[in-house]
Amino acid sequence: MASLHPPPDLRPARLNALGEFAASIAHEVRQPLAAVTLNADACLALLAHDPPRLDEARA
């Protein structure tokens, strides 16, 4: 009966690949969130003017 566990010499490579995959997924999630945050900050700055710059905030 075959073992369900990989040979010990393959485990570090698999863990490394899993770490790289997790980093890639984290990057793909962070990028859109950073864009949303940047746009929200810009919108708040435009709305803080007196009078608020509504046309620019909507764009």
| Complete DSSP assignment for 1-59 | ---SSPPGGGHHHHHHHHHHHHHHHHHHHHHHHHHHHHHHHHHHHHHTSSS--HHHHH-
> Residue 32 domain-assigned?
yes
> Residue 17 domain-assigned?
no
Q: Which of 8-22, 24-38, 45-59 has the highest mean pLDDT?
A: 24-38
> Residue 2 domain-assigned?
no
> Residue 21 domain-assigned?
no
User: Residue 45: what pLDDT?
Assistant: 95
Question: Residue 40 is part of which domain span?
Answer: 28-59
The domain tally of the chain equals: 1
Per-residue pLDDT for 1 more than 70? Answer: no
Distance CA 32, CA 38 (A): 10
pLDDT digits 0-9 by tens, 9-31: 888 899 999 999 999 999 999 99
> Residue 8 domain-assigned?
no
> Residue 45 domain-assigned?
yes
